[in-house]
Chains A and B, each alone.
Chain A
């Protein structure tokens, strides 16, 4: 959970080093394609962080996040391309509309585990069909063309590097926001619901209300990611937002490690970049990709984040003070399993 196993000095050093690397990357490694694809990975990292809030910190399984990505992307594209609204306003509108759309899911937050997952998957399929068939609004299967570059006030962020830095800024803002949210009254309520719903209710937490809020917050963030996606690609097609995209976002969280913000980002990079780097393998690409997914899942629900934490601990010769490792009672592990894996 958010109580980290590391001394925070190490963590902050690591975060700052990673941030500096990402800031200088497009300048030392200015191939357009690389900058483009890393920007895309950062956009998906934002979406993965949003799902991490639901899955890793509230225990809600959503396989419908592509719906909010699509709503955000199309909203931003339509209002900028058709109505010439400035990007900043389009970006905010995209998040808002995605958030409002998520209110449609409030009645189904009562569902649990796989049942909730399937219901959100249904939502994702419906949104895809709307994007595909409402041609007057979305351009249907021809897609939306000529989406302008993002702009900030008088500056138009033309070119891959400017766009890259915008995506990086939004990613950092999202990470910081969630990092603040988790140890707050709101964040504690979500984690209480995930870890023991009855105890949460008996402590005065309105479960439906907080679950709905988690869905809305996640949808708003995903809508922002959708807006970035639209202006990054300059072209939208409904097939960018099929249920397969929802599953990809879920893969990012699962591979990176459920319950870890950094893990969601790592997972988004792996799932976005790995298939690109596996291109040399040609037709074996997806086979290798699938095999690697299976291997990653062997790491357990703590994923790559859990693995790298364990390696770093060993390198730094720190003794684990993790709950699992030092628990005097063997039953602790079973109790700690999140809700969606139990039902």
Chain B
């Protein structure tokens, strides 16, 4: 039963017309990384990779999470197929967690493909990228964290995707650059702490625009801990909420 839910969700998310735009985006990252040297001749491949990765690939994960995670429940409610899922002998918490897992895997894999393509573009090949391993971990953890947060948002708000997008691009762009400890309120900050990108030369403006890349002082261990904590709390809240509240398409209500 669990496998059926998981494979159905994966099948839904991996439909070609859904995945293709993300692969195109990954391709754009690769092309950008490849031509970065033309635009900025004095940068090293590792800097090219780090800039494009934090500017675009990390954002792809946030954007993909906003889109795929809201599909876990909001889309089912919107297309009114939720009724088929909720009248089956599957505990609601299990249903939501399995579908969450499927979405996280898809988002994570899309992020990883983006990172690999970017690395390919920057290094003109698959080898020699010292940042890649940690980036992949950061992207996967980011997929879990954004997914858990957005899942909860999608359960409690109408127009969840809009709120998730505002968070992913408004909040996550502004907050990492805020003074004091405000940047602790951003998932991107922790992803960057896990990725441990080196500060790119002394280009303070560049660093700022990229979202505090390499400047935060959070240790990787602490970042892992906080993101895992966030995931656990958000998933527990989501499971509880989804188990206790009604999810019936509103226009159906008499």
A binds B: no
